[in-house]
Structure 1
Amino acid sequence: MPFLPQGGLEVPAAAGITFAPDPDHLAASHIVGLAPPGSELHPFTMIRSALLDHARASGDRIFAVTSAEPGNGKTHIAANLALVLARIHPTALIELDLRRPALGARLGLPDDYAGVDDYLAGECPWSATQARIQGLDLTVHRVRRQRDTAEALLASNALGLALHNRQAVDTGTIRIVDTPPAILSDDLALIARHVDGMLIVAEEGRTTGDALREIVRTISPVPIVGTILNRSISAPVRDADYGYYRNGSGPA
């Protein structure tokens, strides 16, 4: 039985899709998580190793990626980290920025199936929002369209049920959550109550100490398991380096 969410999209009730990413589209979006070993991939594999070590030691499995403000690179970080994780470990990438969704466009996902926003609005089951990525143990749950009622949707019990769904728990799936920026609303605080730890993306020369302290206050008592310095201006640029992850630290 199909359902018809707001906007007139007809989608099979419990389907989701299977998707093969277009390498050219990923390259144009600076998504390198499927690339062969090299200077662009290496920072993400280092972060992956540190995060897996933390997960094995702590039992944590749900990690949100956030930043102080838009444009700091959090979606870029979340997408690439999820892709490199999925090369060796079951992974889910979940978008929860309902105000400015970008993940679907970055990955080249179609827009003719249900999204996380539809699920949170009670218009479909969680399984209908998944895009299973061919060749990887990865499912992506992207937001289909911008929602003006973001805070009400994120405050619903449905969010916790999705992030802690039985299949993910039973398989030990690591869930990477792409969140809204911290300083624009209280959306991050609503999400933080459902995650095990936070990865904070800071942009050198732009992210201030006050902004980082505001993130810590917003997510407390959720621990910060890692910080990533994005677009560093303090390290030399290699020809193959397009400007991301020149310096950074993995989970503490």
Structure 2
Amino acid sequence: QSRLVATGDYAPSILSPWRAAKEAKREELDSELEIAQLAKRYGPKHPKMIAAKAAHQARISRMKKEVDIVLNNIDKEFERAQWLEKKLQKQFDDLKLQAQAIDSKQSEYRALERNLEADQKLYDTFLTRFKETNISSGNNTPNARIIDEARVPGGHYWPNLERIVAIATLAGLFLGLLLAFLLDYINDTLKNSQDVEEKIGIATLGNLQVLKSDKSNLSPERMYIDDQKSLFSESIRTIRTGVLLTSLDSPDKVVAVTSSVPGEGKTTVSINLAVALGQLEKVLLIDADMRRASLGPHFGIEKNTPGLSDLLAGTEEEAKCIIHNEDAGIYILPAGMIPPNPQELLSSQRFSEALQKLASHYDRVIIDTAPTQLVSDAILVANQASGVIYVIKAESTPYHLVKEGVKRLRQVDSHIIGGVLNQMSQGASGYGGYYKYGKYRNYDYTY
């Protein structure tokens, strides 16, 4: 402590209590000197001696209290320094990986340059030989002569075009049918609600088609807000009805929305379902995908706005983290600052207590969480939720991945409300002129 004060290497929160402790220690020494002087003149039971000893004990108590405050502040500053060290180490590791990637690219670039030089030399050699061959062949005199003139035949002998066309047509039809059956046999994706119920064993709450081409200027995440008369919005209302009817006696107040892998549209389903439920209930939408937070931009919420991570860490109050969006008619709890390890926050007791408290304030809580096959975040959230909706991208995600994700949820006794088959193609839905949406290719932290 003396070294900290002497060198100035201390946090501002330690300086003031340290000065107070130092002042208390000086007063204690002064009181001891005063008692020693009074003892020369008075006995131990003299009123002045008793008063001096009482004042001395009070100063000792004050000095101990100030020292405890200093030690407590030092412990807090030490914990904060450890957290900053971990954060800086993570940034250093990321920069190190980037540097290694740049070195690898430079090596590839030099190899390509060497190949280019070798190919250029080889091309120049062949070009020179070609010109030399042309020059030498021009000097040669042909040694052949015509013996008999060729005669034009009256008709072709081969090939027989009619027979070839007939054989080719039959072969093409046969190969086409064979290829169609083969593709259908090896296709291990889910194409309709019947596949979901038979292969996965969960009910289908509804199907979502890919957006029409004339809706390309609208964001799929805000489709229910911007165009409530569309087929997409009607499908969302069907899913809303399924959620409300699956648990009439004991409603699923906390509903987690997940998928097997990124790009299946779980965020799209979370936002539109929350807005649809918001027309009937008081709804809170939570972004628990803290590795790749994506709710904020769709509602104009700036990055690093206080949110779930700040609420669980205890750095911000609930009122500062929850945002009311009047356009959507719902309350939103963004992800907040990206933590070093989201699993620690989601598995903490504070997360469970926060969900219970939020569920008591709102009629329905919708949680957008991470995919099940990449990290364990979704399993931790589903364990705290009262129900789970599983989003599946039609004709894209292999059914064994979906089956494995559902199995992991059931291992923690999660109640799976049902599945949503998303981005169904034209052939499966009967509607034409659509384009695909809801993709993000890589899944990692975003800063």
Q: TM-score, normalised by structure 2?
A: 0.46
Distance 1:130 1:55, change over 3 A: farther
Q: Which residue of 2 aligns with 1:211?
A: 401
Describe how 1:111-126 pairs up with structure 2 within 5 A: 111=303, 113-126=305-318
Structure with greater helix share of residues: 2
For 2:328 and 2:298, the matched residues in 1 are separated by 17
Contact 1:131 1:139 in 2 (8 A): yes
Comparing 200-209 with 173-182, greater Cα deviation is found at: 200-209
Matched, 1:180 2:180: no
For 1:188 and 1:113, the matched residues in 2 are separated by 22
Q: Match of 1:214, as an amino acid? A: E
Unpaired runs of 5+ in structure 2? Answer: 1-83, 88-216, 439-447
Matched, 1:31 2:222: yes
For 1:132 and 1:55, the matched residues in 2 are separated by 27
Contact 2:244 2:251 in 1 (8 A): no
Q: Which residue of 1 aligns with 2:27?
A: none
Describe how 1:11-30 pairs up with structure 2 within 5 A: 27-28=218-219, 30=221
Identical pairs, percent? 26
Unpaired runs of 5+ in structure 1? Answer: 1-5, 8-25, 246-252
2:316 aligns to what SS in structure 1?
Answer: coil
2:429 aligns to what SS in structure 1?
Answer: coil
1:45 Cα deviation after fit: 0.8
Distance 1:57 1:37, change over 3 A: farther
Paired residue for 1:93, among 277, 285, 309? 285
Q: Which residue of 2 aligns with 1:237?
A: 431
1:79 Cα deviation after fit: 0.4
Q: Which residue of 2 aligns with 1:249?
A: none
Distance 1:136 1:106, change over 3 A: closer
1:56 Cα deviation after fit: 2.6
Q: Which residue of 1 aligns with 2:296?
A: 104
1:150 Cα deviation after fit: 0.9
Paired residue for 1:169, among 360, 371, 383? 360
Offset from partner CA, 1:195-226 (integer Å, 9 cap, x none): 01110000112222221222222222112111
Contact 1:230 1:244 in 2 (8 A): no
Q: Which residue of 2 aligns with 1:10?
A: none
Offset from partner CA, 1:152-181 (integer Å, 9 cap, x none): 111111211222116x3255x111110100
Q: Which residue of 1 aligns with 2:270?
A: 78
Q: Which residue of 1 aligns with 2:256?
A: 64
Matched, 1:153 2:316: no
For 1:106 and 1:135, the matched residues in 2 are separated by 12
For 1:187 and 1:99, the matched residues in 2 are separated by 9
Contact 1:98 1:143 in 2 (8 A): yes
Structure with greater strand share of residues: 1
For 1:237 and 1:87, the matched residues in 2 are separated by 28
For 1:136 and 1:68, the matched residues in 2 are separated by 27
1:43 Cα deviation after fit: 0.6
Describe how 1:46-61 pairs up with structure 2 within 5 A: 46-61=238-253
Comparing 127-136 with 96-105, greater Cα deviation is found at: 127-136
Q: Which residue of 1 aligns with 2:391?
A: 201
Comparing 79-88 with 36-45, greater Cα deviation is found at: 36-45
Contact 1:155 1:190 in 2 (8 A): yes
Distance 1:121 1:43, change over 3 A: same
1:136 Cα deviation after fit: 5.5
Distance 1:124 1:42, change over 3 A: same
Matched, 1:43 2:240: no
1:165 aligns to what SS in structure 2?
Answer: helix
1:201 aligns to what SS in structure 2?
Answer: strand
1:29 Cα deviation after fit: 5.2
Give the paired residue count: 219
1:244 Cα deviation after fit: 6.9
1:238 Cα deviation after fit: 4.1
For 2:432 and 2:350, the matched residues in 1 are separated by 45
Comparing 103-112 with 84-93, greater Cα deviation is found at: 103-112
Structure exhibiting the larger radius of gyration computed from Cα positions:
2
Distance 1:223 1:202, change over 3 A: same
Contact 1:197 1:225 in 2 (8 A): yes
